[in-house]
Amino acid sequence: MKRPPMLMHLRIERERRGFGLWLPLFLLLPLALVVFIILSPLILVATIVLWPSGWGKRALLTLRASVDIFCSMRGLGIDVHSGRQSVSMTVV
């Protein structure tokens, strides 16, 4: 199991003025867990109902793939300068 990203750093600059924002992604994880636990009976029912059509399995795999993609985001960095504006995003 990959370690999920802990922080996201956003920086937006315009005409030499700008601001940086550290987003604590690790605070979202307990929240996401609580939402998942609350919704798990609904997910279970939906999966059972949709299983014969093949969409139930696909929905579960999509859920797993989404978690996998989120956990793989560590190290992602995007840095764009255009004229005197710049936006940068780093996932740590």
Partner 1 sequence: MSDNKKKILEMLAKNKISADDAYRLLSAVDGGEGRRESTGRAETAAKSKAKYLRVTVLPNPESDRSGSCDRVNIRVPMSLIRAGIKLTSLIPSEARDKVNLALHEKGIDFDVRNMKPEDIEELIGALSDLEVDVVSKNGESVRVFVE
Site residues, partner 1 (CB under 8 A)? 2, 58, 61-62, 65, 68-69, 71-84
| Residue among 34 and 62 whose Cβ is closer to partner 1 | 62
Least distance to partner 1 from the beta carbon of 18, Å?
15
As a three-state string, the secondary structure of 42-61 is HHHHHHHHHHHHCHHHHHHH
Q: If we measure between CA atoms, which residue out of 14, 11, 24, 29 comes closest to residue 77?
A: 11
Q: Closest distance between partner 1 and the C-beta of residue 70, in Å? A: 9
Q: How far is the CB of 9 from partner 1 (least distance, A)?
A: 13
Amino acid occupying residue 68: D
